[in-house]
């Protein structure tokens, strides 16, 4: 039930990427969001979504698998707690997040009762919005750029990953103190 260490997890992620390359596909999760928009009829609003989404069906099946993998892991393979650096735990407590070490996601943000808090609702919605907008603007997310692109030594992916970290550092250092 222990979490897998980084030196097991990282190589297994590389294995996922190579498995997809081997079957003639590529590792990239955020493009599924575009496909989902296309299925929902967004092609009428923008030609960006006007494509034959059935060619992307394989990736939706990967996503379905990931959903099943999440279900199996949370119910049968994990005690659903995450132990992080004690100094970071103290920092989080100063933000009123006290569930570190007790849960997989902070209950203060992801607990069902938090959904009645407009601020938390906005955090989830805007966080998701920026992930969706940013990944499509950058042409990829963590899987497409940080893993696939950097593995293929693509300079654009390095620029994107530097962008990921600039954005993340701005968020937790300058915006978190304003929100929490």
Partner 1 sequence: MKTLVYLIIGVFFGIVMYKSEAASWFRIYEMFEFGSFHMYGIIGSALAIGVIGTQIIKRRNIKALGGQDMQLNPKAMSIPRYLFGGLLFGLGWALAGACPGPMFVLAGAGYGSILIVIFGALGGTFIYGLLRNKLPH
Question: Is 136 a residue that touches partner 1 (CB under 8 A)?
Answer: yes
Check residue 172 for interaction with partner 1 (CB under 8 A).
yes
- Rounded to a whole number of angstroms, the minimum distance from the CB of residue 127 to partner 1 is 3
Could you tell me how many residues of this chain bind partner 1 (CB under 8 A)?
122
Q: Which of 58, 79, 93, 119 binds partner 1 (CB under 8 A)?
A: 58
Minimum CB separation of residue 64 from partner 1 in Å reads: 6
User: Is residue 164 near partner 1 by the rule CB under 8 A?
Assistant: yes
The least CB distance from residue 53 to partner 1, in Å, is 13
39 binds partner 1 (CB under 8 A): no
Distance between CA 26 and CA 56 in Å, rounded?
11
Let me know: does 83 contact 57? Beta carbons within 8 Å: no
d(CA 4, CA 134) in angstroms, rounded, equals 29
Q: Given candidates 70, 79, 98, 177, which one binds partner 1 under the rule CB under 8 A?
A: 70
Residue 178 touching partner 1 (CB under 8 A): no
**169 part of the interface to partner 1, by CB under 8 A:** yes
Is 26 an interacting residue with respect to partner 1 (CB under 8 A)? yes
Residues between 90 and 129 with contacts to partner 1, criterion CB under 8 A: 91-92, 100, 104-106, 109-112, 114-115, 121, 123-129
3-state DSSP of the chain: CCCCCHHHHHHHHHHHHHHHHHCCCCCCCCHHHHHHHHHCCHHHCCHHHCCCHHHHHHHHHHHHHHHHHHHHHHHHHCCCCCCCCHHHHHHHHHCCCCCCCCCCCCHHHHCHHHHHCHHHHHHHHHHHHHHHHHHHHHCCCHHHHHHHHHHCCCHHHHHHHHHHHHHHHHHHHHHHHHHC
With CB under 8 A as the contact rule, the residue among 44, 52, 55, 85 that binds partner 1 is: 85
Looking at 44, 118, 155, 178, which residue binds partner 1 (CB under 8 A)?
Answer: 155
């Amino acid at each position: 039930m222990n979490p897998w260490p980084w030196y097991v997890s990282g190589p297994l992620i590389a294995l996922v990427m190579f498995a997809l390359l081997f079957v003639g596909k590529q590792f990239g999760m955020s493009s599924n969001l575009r496909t989902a928009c296309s299925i929902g009829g967004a092609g009428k609003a923008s030609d960006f979504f006007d494509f034959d989404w059935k060619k992307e069906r394989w990736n939706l099946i990967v996503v379905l698998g990931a959903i099943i993998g999440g279900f199996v892991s949370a119910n049968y393979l994990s005690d659903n707690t995450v132990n992080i650096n004690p100094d970071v735990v103290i920092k989080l407590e100063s933000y009123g997040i006290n569930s570190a070490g007790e849960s997989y996601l902070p209950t203060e943000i992801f607990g069902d009762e938090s959904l009645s808090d407009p601020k938390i609702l906005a955090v989830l919605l805007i966080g998701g919005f920026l992930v969706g907008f940013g990944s499509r603007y950058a042409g990829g997310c963590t899987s497409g750029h940080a893993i696939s692109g950097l593995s293929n030594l693509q300079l654009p992916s390095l620029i994107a990953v530097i962008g990921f970290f600039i954005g993340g550092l701005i968020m937790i250092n300058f915006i978190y103190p304003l929100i929490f």
